[in-house]
Amino acid sequence: MQSFLERLRRISFFNRNDDEDAVAVYPTMPLYEKFLQEEDNWVQVTNENFFENFTVLSWRRENQRLQVIRKEESEKDAPPPSEPELPPEDVYTIEKKQWQNLYVEVLYTIKHKLGANSSNYVAYTEELYEYARETFNMTHEEHEKFMAVAQDEKPPIPVLNVTVIEATGLEAKDPNGTSDPYCMLGIQPDPDSEKRKQDAEEENNSNSGGGLRGLKRFGASFKKRDRRDRSNSEIVPARLIRTTKVKPETLSPKWREKFRLDIDDIRTDRFHLDIWDHDDETSVFDAAKRLNEVSNLKGLGRYFKEVAQSARTSNGENVDDFLGNVNFPVEIVGSNGMDRWFTLSGRSNRSTVQGQVHLKLQLGTREDRGVPTGNDNEREVAEHEQLIWIFVNHELKMFQGKPYEWAGDLPQQALTILHQHAIQGDITELQQALCQWKAYFRKHQEVVLDYALMFQQLEEIEQAWAKNEEALSLNAEEDMRNSYNEFITHCFDLLRQHRKYFPSHNTLARHKLKFMLKCLKHLYNMEAFTSVFPFRNELRVEVSNAIKRGTFEWMNEIRGESEQYNSIDEFIRFLDALNMDLQKAVSHYHLMFER
């Protein structure tokens, strides 16, 4: 069967005019193809090649997109964009005089190092001196000059900070099956040195009428046991006896009371604690209180007494209310302190005691001015923060890489000096964590550190806050609030311009953004943050506001000053930028912000 076109050609051939040229009569192409070509030319003329140009434009845009992708791929492992720099007047510095005073403080701290040696810290003082000299950039002549200043300073008085937390499993002494326990505690000096000191005091007192000797006999009278039944080891002398409160009718008392006990010689002194059952008629508790009423008299001897609360029975049975004691050398406490349960011991092999007591002990110092200086250590805390900043600054100068590549670890020499400075300044763990955060953040504002390092500092603050038992001073709270606010403001400024400072194709920039967001999330969940910002907006709200504001600013920037597009090409470029930005937001940013 012949097709319609073949029949059309046959009819045209047989009906042609003989005078016409065969080539002219027989068409060079099928009629329908000629028609389509003419139709296509007509469309191109009428639409000004719109569809052809659109196809070329689409191809051009795709080519530009691929070029951008190739460029981003080449910059994947490049350094992240630099964050805004602080103005020179805002860069943190330490004046020369303060720098020298801090160096003397470091030398003084090393000279009077406390506690037993630990594997975590440097034991050799010469190594610490040399590290300090290099860190502070002092010559050997300058070191010797400031060393002489430190040696002329009066040495601090070592103290033992004791927290009597609780006891458990005590023996019942009262008819109702309970006891009314309280503690007596103090420092027991070396017997030989104490005897020499007492002999010298008695000789001096004999020249002034013997008033102090009378008081000493008064102190020695708090004993109801027979002198013949007493050995020298049963008397525990102390320069100061402290007592806790009485906890009525309990075998598991909770005290949580703190004491500061002066130490004469950390190598030979011993810590001693007695637990007694209080008797309303006569008690060691009242005796100790009366003794401490004259505790300001220099050279007055103190004595723990093994007091029998009532009297001996006729058969010699001991019916006193002694519940047990703890006794150990002070030197075992160490520079890291101790926090543990101690098993109570009896006064002799015949004593039957039971139970444990929970003590927290930490070495410290106070200035030798005759009386305690109180708990205000703001000067020491400020010095501690400055020392951390100096050590961080020194280690960054010694580091061979970029600041954001530094792990933030300080050497053992720096950690030892800071540890000893904290002990001697009675700087709490929370105060140390806050000092470290502020020092690292100051340096971060100058040269950007790793946000993972900043996150670590926040975690240490949270851990210290959970263990802290003392309220911060108003000045410390204000410093903490200001530091947090500066960090948050800095982070939100970067989030507002996250396209610039955290490009999605850059691996290190994504790492920075990830940990910066973790810092913000962790900070907003910390009790240390909510305590100083109780009414701040939720983090999600503030982040959303920063992103919205930054997006409007970015759109205005890519559009330029004109509000209208002069050509379709400009409008398409704008739409293309929006499309690529949305793709990056979905594929990269959204995942990090959702976490």
pLDDT digits (tens, 9 = 90+) for 452-470: 999 999 999 999 999 887 8
pLDDT digits (tens, 9 = 90+) for 303-345: 444 433 333 344 444 444 889 999 999 999 988 889 999 999 9
Q: What is the mean pLDDT of residues 419-427?
A: 93
Report whether pLDDT(223) > 70: no
What is residue 69's predicted lDDT score, i.e. its pLDDT? 66
Q: What is the mean pLDDT of residues 567-595?
A: 78
What is residue 244's predicted lDDT score, i.e. its pLDDT? 94
Q: Are strands 270-277 and 181-188 parallel, antiparallel or unpaired?
A: antiparallel
Sequence-ordered strand ranges (E) for 284-395: 303-304, 322-329, 338-343, 356-366
Instruction: Please give the structure tokens belonging to residue 527.
Output: 């009790």
What is residue 192's predicted lDDT score, i.e. its pLDDT? 66
What is residue 202's predicted lDDT score, i.e. its pLDDT? 60
The sign of the torsion formed by the CA atoms of 201, 202, 203, 207 equals: positive
What is residue 372's predicted lDDT score, i.e. its pLDDT? 46
- pLDDT above 90: percentage of residues in the chain: 48
Instruction: Give the DSSP H/E element, type plus range, for residue 164.
Output: strand 157-168
Identify which of 491, 530, 536, 533 has the alpha carbon closest to the alpha carbon of residue 514: 491
Sequence-ordered strand ranges (E) for 169-282: 181-188, 236-237, 242-243, 254-262, 270-277
Report whether pLDDT(104) > 90: yes
Taking the C-alpha atoms of residue 328 and residue 314, their distance in angstroms, rounded to an integer, is 35
Which carries the bigger pLDDT value, residue 315 or residue 93? 93
Taking the C-alpha atoms of residue 355 and residue 367, their distance in angstroms, rounded to an integer, is 37
What is residue 174's predicted lDDT score, i.e. its pLDDT? 85
What is residue 432's predicted lDDT score, i.e. its pLDDT? 97
What is residue 76's predicted lDDT score, i.e. its pLDDT? 66
What is residue 72's predicted lDDT score, i.e. its pLDDT? 63
Report whether pLDDT(298) > 70: no
What is residue 450's predicted lDDT score, i.e. its pLDDT? 96
Least confident of 210-214, 443-447, 478-482: 210-214
Identify which of 550, 569, 432, 459 has the alpha carbon closest to the alpha carbon of residue 502: 550
Taking the C-alpha atoms of residue 465 and residue 471, their distance in angstroms, rounded to an integer, is 10
pLDDT digits (tens, 9 = 90+) for 143-160: 999 999 999 999 999 999
Report whether pLDDT(528) > 70: yes
Measure the N-to-C terminal CA separation of the chain; round to a whole number of Å: 73
pLDDT digits (tens, 9 = 90+) for 227-261: 334 433 344 444 578 999 999 999 999 999 999 99
- pLDDT above 70: percentage of residues in the chain: 69
Q: What is the mean pLDDT of residues 478-499?
A: 95
The sign of the torsion formed by the CA atoms of 130, 134, 138, 139 equals: positive
pLDDT digits (tens, 9 = 90+) for 34-89: 544 555 555 455 555 555 565 666 676 666 666 666 666 656 667 888 898 888 88
Which carries the bigger pLDDT value, residue 466 or residue 7? 466
Least confident of 86-95, 478-487, 542-551: 86-95
